[in-house]
Amino acid sequence: MSTSDANTGRKQLPLSVFDELLDDAAVAVDCLSAIVRVCAEATGKAVTLFDRQGHVVASTRPEAGRQTTFPPLRDIVRGHTTTTPPSADPVLLPAELGTGLSRRKILSAVVERGEHLGWLVVDEQPTPFHPTDEYVTLRCARRIGAQFLTQRRITRVAWNARSNLARQLVRGSGAWKDLAAGAEYLGVNVYARRALVYVRDSEGAPDDLDRSLAEYTERALGLEVLSTRGSEGILLLIEAPAGAASPAVVGRITSTLEAATAELSPASGLIAGVSSVYEPDSFARAYREAREVVRCIDRFTHGTRHRVLAVDDLGPARLFLANGEVSAIRHFIDDMLGPLLDDDAAAATELIRTLAVWFEQNRGMRRTAARLGVHENTVRLRLSRVHALTGLDVTGDASHQLSIQTALLVLRLRDHPAFHLESRCAEARDDNTVRADALPDERRSA
């Protein structure tokens, strides 16, 4: 039972009761929050647990201190991080002018096995500090440190298991019943259709990029993501919503990955390929598709700019671009579009953009004109100009159309200015104003 402090009116927990509560909190589902609550109950104070970056992990305030607010962690620990890692012994921080603290605080570093994991802060509100408060804070900080490491080990084991499952799904190895049983244990929907993303490793990329990309895309898309790291790159298996069309899903994934690579690895120049959406028995085919896209980007893209393309951006021509001799392909491009590239730069850009939009709009004059914001006759004149310069009948000869489409793909990979006028990612976002799960089903299978 608790006893009352005659000076403050605060109820004091006997240490035996405190130890029992701490033991119970350590095995609770949300153990870190439970330990913080025990600390608040034992001290009668507002308590907050911060991670090392200053993010609030858990916070509890007694009824009398509901209005208590904590300053940012950087203001609390200023001048008290002289050792690395800091000592776990609690420090009583004074409330003085120039400290940024309006009330005294007890600060205890969460340190376990020499690793600094966070900070536990007790505020002198709503009652004054008691001689036992520092002891309670230290005990709680130590228990939190042990739980941090335990949760990290559990998370690592689960991550490794999910990574191994992703690897087996892509390889098609292992008995399906065993894979399904393991997936059920991990809470993974092994029957879901997925798109595969292949991200090529690059120098300077963070070591934990596979986990960061998986967490970023899962959070941004609200879809289940499995990740694994191979000898040459990172694989992401991203779930497709039931009934969603493959192009819509791939468009969302591509635009999300562009944002993720720029934020998580801004200087390393990552390149990634996105497959179409496939059933689980066709993930090996998805892997080949994504790798071919990456190979095309790698062969024809120069510099460190991030590039993320989907298999539908390249089409069947990716086989030729990924496996053909580079010098021969460059000669082919010069033969096809050389006269355009040698023409006036602004005019050439206009003609190439018109060609690209014309193919994107399935060779429809009216749709192309609407997309470019010009008259249909202007589109016809531009296509005639292409015919005059290159000798290629883009409107009437199917073989010429295929040749020009292939050449345009290489220009796109080279980041030609014509493709800056309108981002495909913006188009994908506009198309996705309609909910993906409301779109018709366009399932692909091998």
In tens, the pLDDT along 331-353 reads 777 777 777 776 567 778 888 88
- Domain ranges, residue 60: 3-154
β-strands 115-123, 11-12 pairing: unpaired
69: DSSP letter: -
Structure tokens given for 33: 């929050």
How many Cβ atoms from other residues are within 10 Å of residue 353's Cβ? 21
Q: Which residues are CB-contacts of 20 (< 8 A; sequence separation ≥ 6)?
A: none
d(CA 193, CA 184): 16
d(CA 163, CA 141): 32
Helix, strand, or coil (residue 321): helix
Tell me whether residue 425 is exposed, middle or buried, using C-beta atoms within 10 angstroms of its C-beta: 0 to 12, 13 to 18, 19 or more.
Answer: middle
pLDDT in tens, 304-318: 566 888 888 777 777
CB 413 within 8 A of CB 297: yes
pLDDT for the residue 84: 65
d(CA 375, CA 87): 73
pLDDT for the residue 268: 65
Residue count of the chain, please give it.
446
With respect to residue 206, please indicate whether it lies within any of the assigned structural domains.
no
* Cα dist from 109 to 96, 114, 254, 407, whole Å: 21, 11, 42, 61
CB 227 within 8 A of CB 194: no
Q: Which residues are CB-contacts of 340 (< 8 A; sequence separation ≥ 6)?
A: 348, 351, 352, 386, 389, 390
With respect to residue 97, please indicate whether it lies within any of the assigned structural domains.
yes
With respect to residue 310, please indicate whether it lies within any of the assigned structural domains.
no
Q: Which residues on neighbouring strands pair with residue 51, listed in sequence order?
A: 118
With respect to residue 65, please indicate whether it lies within any of the assigned structural domains.
yes
Q: Residue 15 belongs to a domain with what CATH number?
A: 3.30.450.40
How many Cβ atoms from other residues are within 10 Å of residue 147's Cβ? 21
CB 188 within 8 A of CB 224: yes
With respect to residue 130, please indicate whether it lies within any of the assigned structural domains.
yes
- The pTM (predicted TM-score) of the whole model is 0.59
Helix, strand, or coil (residue 263): helix
Q: List % helix, strand, coil for the chain (3-state, nearest 5).
A: 50, 15, 35
* Cα dist from 270 to 259, 261, 306, whole Å: 12, 7, 5
**Can you say how many angstroms the Cα of residue 387 is from the centroid of all Cα atoms in its chain?**
45
Q: Which residues on neighbouring strands pair with residue 124, listed in sequence order?
A: none
pLDDT for the residue 377: 92
pLDDT for the residue 296: 82
With respect to residue 115, please indicate whether it lies within any of the assigned structural domains.
yes
Q: Provide the domain count of the chain.
A: 1
pLDDT for the residue 67: 67
With respect to residue 77, please indicate whether it lies within any of the assigned structural domains.
yes
**Can you say how many angstroms the Cα of residue 397 is from the centroid of all Cα atoms in its chain?**
44
Under-50 pLDDT residues of the chain = 1-4, 6-9, 423-446
CB 437 within 8 A of CB 244: yes
With respect to residue 243, please indicate whether it lies within any of the assigned structural domains.
no
β-strands 271-278, 307-310 pairing: parallel
Q: 150: alpha, beta or left, given left = phi > 0 and alpha = psi -120 to 50?
A: alpha
